[in-house]
Structure 1
Amino acid sequence: MSASMSASWREFWNRTNPIYVNERHRVRHYAGVAEEIAALVPHAGAHVLDYGCGEALSAGRVARICARLYLCDAAPRVRDALADRFGDEPRVTVLAPEAIAALPDRSLDLVVAHSVAQYLTPAELDAALSLWREKLRPGGCLVLADVIPPDLGALADSLALLAFARREGFLGAALLGLVRTALSDYPSLRRRLGLTRYTQAAMLERLRAAGFTAEPRPNLGHNPQRLAFTARVAGARDGAPP
């Protein structure tokens, strides 16, 4: 894959796109992810980084139960919207990815990177893992979620979306949305740029090579066929729940 893949995907996420089929899909997606992140927060004094957070519509749910929530996204348009939405929330700080390096080392209790790995080259992911490891406290936790395995195709993603839509009451919109997505530039971008995929074994090895102890866990979000991992700094005393 091209070294410019993440930059090209950043341009895609920096504009209006057809990923969410309607407003209910958008709202329910972010509400569900926020609930799952909130369940990972180890204690009320925790400092949490949601890396690649997207619009994070329900991030206030997480901010209410931790001391500091960093929302990080690569798309300037998304960061501007986050700054507007959470400008009056003293516990929330909006950051660009390059600003993570300025955070104090060993200052974070939890890092969540949901639906991020597929948009990074392997070298970019390795750099991110190294950075997150530096910023996590001993016993702190990284949850890397929504990782796409090599054998999971667009059909499986579509079926997972339809199951989610049926549960959440927007099935008709989801069917129409899949047609709109098929007619948009997303399929051609996906073919041209590709999505980085990992087997479970390959990601576990990558996490261990980056200095983490790691194990598989249930995925965050609506697609149970995608992979997720809990990782801690190797040798650190376990101070937070998985």
Structure 2
Amino acid sequence: MAVLMNWRDYWNQDTPIYASDRHKLLHYRLIANDIIGLIPSSDAIALDYGCGEALFADKVAARCGRLYLSDAAPLVRERLNGRFRDNGRITVLSTDDVADLPDASLDLIVVNSLVQYLSLDEFRSLLRLLHRKLRSDGRLVLGDVIPPDISPLTDAKALLAFAWRGGFLRSAVASLARTAFSEYRTIREEVGLAQYSDEEIIDLLEDAEFSAERAARNLGHNQARMTYLARPVQARETDDPAER
């Protein structure tokens, strides 16, 4: 009997998820520009958790003091290390390594297009971990969250619109046809993608002691998906021993 591939295995290989090299470049450039817009200061310490190949991470790192790139896939980390080994501002970590970062040391954490691949328990655990790593005035950004009942057709339309603007429409059409028969579709049907309503995401963030709001626009090209901005909730101080 064939062993079912999971999402971590899927991303630890060359995948057909990008229509072309141009699509890949434009995608990562857009995400990098969005992250740059979130960096609070030139000396900020930032973490891109689940970063993928992060082709323009050097542009992000140039706007902050240090940038951690974290990904679960060994192949992705190998490529990141090869690409940015001479950049003193960038450190590549496994997702497990993030637990070893000092608590309250990060000014910005971006988790983009990852939540859909986590189980609910994994998501809850990740939120607790990232809460510990953020400074009291730091910010967590959850990007590309998929709302319930969104149609794959909606994602396809967003890709085609992006492709039209970016000049890779023909390859995008061909890519959609390939994806219909790819491992991605098989895993999506058998394992699924996590989807959350606005209320569910806010509740999960509040349970993890964040205050949160939905951003005006999503990171990346697909505005049918959602981005959330969250900050750690500060413990309320009191002088009344009975309330301690």
Task: Report the TM-score, using the length of structure 1 for normalisation.
Answer: 0.94
Matches within 5 A, 1:28-67: 28-67=26-65
Higher Cα Rg: structure 1 or 2? 2
Which of 213, 216, 220 does residue 215 from structure 1 map onto?
213
> Quick one: distance in 2 between partners of 1:84 and 1:182?
32
Query: Alpha-carbon deviation of 1:140?
Result: 0.2
Which residue is 1:239 aligned to?
none
Matches within 5 A, 1:194-233: 194-217=192-215, 218-233=217-232
Query: Alpha-carbon deviation of 1:222?
Result: 0.6
Query: Alpha-carbon deviation of 1:194?
Result: 0.2
Q: Are 2:77 and 1:79 equivalent residues in the alignment?
A: yes
Query: Alpha-carbon deviation of 1:235?
Result: 2.4
SS in 2 for 1:85: helix
Which residue is 2:117 aligned to?
119
Could you report, residue by residue, the CA deviation over 1:67-108 in whole angstroms, capped at 9, with x for unpaired residues?
Answer: 110000010000000000000000000000110011001000
SS in 2 for 1:21: coil
SS in 1 for 2:37: helix
> Quick one: distance in 1 between partners of 2:166 and 2:46?
28
> Quick one: distance in 2 between partners of 1:235 and 1:152?
35
> Quick one: distance in 1 between partners of 2:177 and 2:100?
43
Task: Report the TM-score, using the length of structure 2 for normalisation.
Answer: 0.93
> Quick one: distance in 1 between partners of 2:62 and 2:177?
38
> Quick one: distance in 2 between partners of 1:102 and 1:85?
24
Q: Are 2:180 and 1:182 equivalent residues in the alignment?
A: yes
Which residue is 2:163 aligned to?
165
SS in 1 for 2:180: helix
Stretch deviating more after TM superposition (215-224 or 177-186): 177-186
> Quick one: distance in 2 between partners of 1:232 and 1:184?
38
In the alignment, residue 160 of structure 2 is paired with which amino acid? L
Identity of aligned residues (%): 49
> Quick one: distance in 1 between partners of 2:219 and 2:183?
26
Query: Alpha-carbon deviation of 1:16?
Result: 1.2
In the alignment, residue 46 of structure 2 is paired with which amino acid? V
SS in 1 for 2:97: helix
Matches within 5 A, 1:96-175: 96-175=94-173
SS in 1 for 2:147: coil
Query: Alpha-carbon deviation of 1:213?
Result: 0.3
Q: Give the superposed CA RMSD.
A: 1.5
Runs of 4+ displaced beyond 6 Å: none
> Quick one: distance in 2 between partners of 1:48 and 1:128?
16
SS in 1 for 2:17: coil
> Quick one: distance in 2 between partners of 1:185 and 1:139?
41
> Quick one: distance in 2 between partners of 1:8 and 1:53?
18
In the alignment, residue 35 of structure 1 is paired with which amino acid? N
In the alignment, residue 155 of structure 2 is paired with which amino acid? D
SS in 1 for 2:230: strand
SS in 2 for 1:48: strand
Which residue is 2:242 aligned to?
none
Please list every run of 5 or more consecutive structure 1 residues that lacks an aligned counterpart in the other structure: 237-242
Query: Alpha-carbon deviation of 1:8?
Result: 1.2
Which residue is 1:92 aligned to?
90
SS in 1 for 2:231: strand
SS in 1 for 2:157: helix
SS in 1 for 2:7: helix
